[in-house]
């Protein structure tokens, strides 16, 4: 798949996005001659997208940057069913209120990367059509185009059965729902392309086949690779969990640090996939050796954070890192921060609660373990008393610095 005429596919190929593509020559001809409409679906399983979603998001971004129209589909309907892909057990069924809250958070993630202004990217919710379907008419119109024999061969189904894990009839319908999404988007908005991770290939192909059988339409599928790091770890996963795109789930400083800690062997590949730097500049950075590779990692961290959180926030995160790790004198203002009301401080706030509020730990129990392990610090002084209470008198300078280990710091301000 080389020598593409369309800017869209040529850029994706050069930067390493393309894993599988249906009829690449016809898709390239379409993208070179007309405005292509393409979509990626995101189920509402959390109130933020994460680094694992970034490849698909960047494909939508490049689609828009090359003059085409991206559609971000949020699965308000399919979330009620649950995608069995890559799962050994059923997902927890979410309430309508949880799905609505998660949808709002996902839009916030996507707005960082896509322009939803007039004539630009579109946000659609498949609940708009899936919730209105009548069961018997749907089975007659759509279900007749699927065979159970074929559905049993798809990876998401086959793996469950091979591992003798239950697959509910609800989940078995997921691929039919997603296929119908593609058909509906083509009918409503002229969408011709569905993109996603390679684990979605079977679902994408189902949609292409459904459109061909139901309407005689030619649709296309394009997948990106499922990334692992050079050491074999799943991309976007850390010991602390997912690397979230929204700042309420992960401070921008920690996001910057995630990219700064990239393995040497991954720097060039990640610069091509997760930044928009020119390929010539990436090639120069990729040639750096020894300690100089750290400069390339800082560029990666800055550019990735700039896309997700804006240039000013990226500069602030970089300044904080210089202050903390390079012996510089950058202002403490560069640290991520939280604000605690003074009336709350007058009552006294347990230090384990402060660590939780700051997002440095997920629970009070984790905060206690951090203290017992010697990794908790207050203004660079080790905390030994897990019952310590912080009050207004501790804020002589108006702020305190909380630290979890050597690399994670949050500024606590009194207001």
pLDDT band of residue 162 (cuts 50, 70, 90) is confident
Which pLDDT score is estimated for 313? 93
- Do the beta carbons of residue 59 and residue 40 sit within 8 Å? yes
Interatomic CA distance for residues 112 and 387, integer angstroms: 40
Tokens of 409: 């710091």
Q: Which residues contact 14 (CB under 8 A, 6 or more apart)?
A: 272, 279
Query: How confident is residue 330, by pLDDT bands cut at 50, 70 and 90?
Result: very low
Which two tokens mark 230?
């050079």
Residues 46-64 have a mean pLDDT of: 96
Mean pLDDT of 99-107: 96
Q: pLDDT-derived band of residue 328, with 50, 70 and 90 as boundaries?
A: very low
Mean pLDDT calculated for residue range 202-226: 95
Q: What is the mean pLDDT of residues 219-248?
A: 85
Please report, rounded to a whole number, the percentage of residues in the chain having pLDDT higher than 70.
93
Burial track 7-21 (b if 16+ CB lie within 10 A, e otherwise): ebbbbbbebbbbebb
pLDDT (mean) for 91-119: 91
Q: How confident is the model at residue 210 (pLDDT cuts 50, 70, 90)?
A: very high
Q: Do 351 and 389 form a contact (C-beta atoms < 8 A)?
A: yes
Nearest to 193 by CA among 35, 401, 412: 35
Closest CA to 61 of 230, 240, 270, 276: 276
Task: Label residue 118 by pLDDT band (50, 70, 90).
Answer: confident
Q: What is the pLDDT of residue 83?
A: 67
Integer CA distances (angstroms), 321 to 296, 328, 335, 408, in order? 15, 9, 8, 10
Helix/strand/coil percent split, the chain, to 5: 50, 15, 35
Mean pLDDT throughout 9-36?
97
Mean pLDDT of 59-74: 97
The CA distance from 335 to 321, in Å, is 8
- Residue-averaged pLDDT of the chain: 88
Please, which pLDDT band fits residue 345 given cuts at 50, 70 and 90? Answer: confident
Band of residue 332 on the pLDDT scale cut at 50, 70, 90: low
């Amino acid at each position: 798949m080389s020598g593409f005429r369309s800017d869209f596919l040529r850029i994706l190929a050069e930067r390493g996005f393309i894993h599988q593509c249906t009829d690449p020559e016809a898709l390239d001809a379409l993208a070179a001659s007309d405005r292509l409409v393409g979509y990626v679906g995101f189920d509402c399983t959390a109130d933020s997208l994460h680094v694992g979603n970034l490849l698909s998001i960047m494909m939508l971004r490049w689609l828009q940057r090359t003059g085409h129209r991206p559609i971000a589909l949020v699965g308000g309907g399919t979330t009620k069913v649950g995608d069995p892909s890559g799962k050994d057990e059923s997902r927890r069924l979410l309430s309508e209120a949880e799905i609505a809250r998660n949808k709002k958070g996902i839009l916030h993630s996507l707005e960082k990367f896509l322009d939803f202004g007039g004539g630009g990217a579109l946000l659609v919710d498949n609940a708009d059509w899936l919730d209105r379907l009548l069961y018997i008419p749907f089975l007659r119109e759509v279900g007749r185009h699927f065979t159970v024999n074929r559905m049993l061969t798809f990876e998401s189904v086959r793996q469950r059965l091979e591992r003798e894990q239950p697959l509910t009839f609800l989940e078995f319908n997921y691929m039919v729902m997603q296929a119908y999404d593609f058909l509906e988007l083509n009918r409503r908005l002229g969408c011709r392309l569905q993109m996603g991770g390679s684990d979605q290939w079977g679902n994408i192909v189902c949609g292409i086949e459904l459109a061909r059988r139901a309407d005689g339409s030619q649709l296309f599928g394009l997948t990106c690779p499922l990334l692992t790091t050079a050491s074999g770890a799943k991309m976007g996963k850390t010991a602390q969990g997912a690397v979230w795109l929204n700042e309420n789930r992960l401070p921008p400083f920690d996001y910057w640090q995630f990219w700064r800690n990239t393995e040497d062997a991954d720097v060039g590949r990640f610069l091509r996939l997760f930044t928009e730097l020119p390929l010539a500049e990436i090639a120069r950075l990729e040639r750096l050796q020894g300690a100089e590779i750290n400069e390339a990692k800082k560029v990666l961290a800055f550019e990735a954070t700039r896309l997700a959180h804006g240039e000013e926030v990226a500069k602030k995160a970089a300044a904080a890192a210089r202050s903390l790790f390079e012996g510089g004198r950058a202002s403490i203002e560069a640290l991520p921060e939280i604000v605690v009301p003074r009336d709350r401080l007058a009552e006294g706030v347990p230090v384990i609660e402060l660590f939780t509020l700051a997002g440095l730990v997920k629970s009070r129990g984790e905060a206690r373990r951090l203290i017992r392990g010697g990794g908790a610090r207050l203004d660079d002084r080790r905390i030994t008393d897990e019952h310590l209470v912080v009050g207004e008198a501790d804020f002589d300078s108006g702020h305190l610095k909380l630290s979890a280990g050597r690399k994670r710091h949050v500024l606590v301000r009194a207001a």
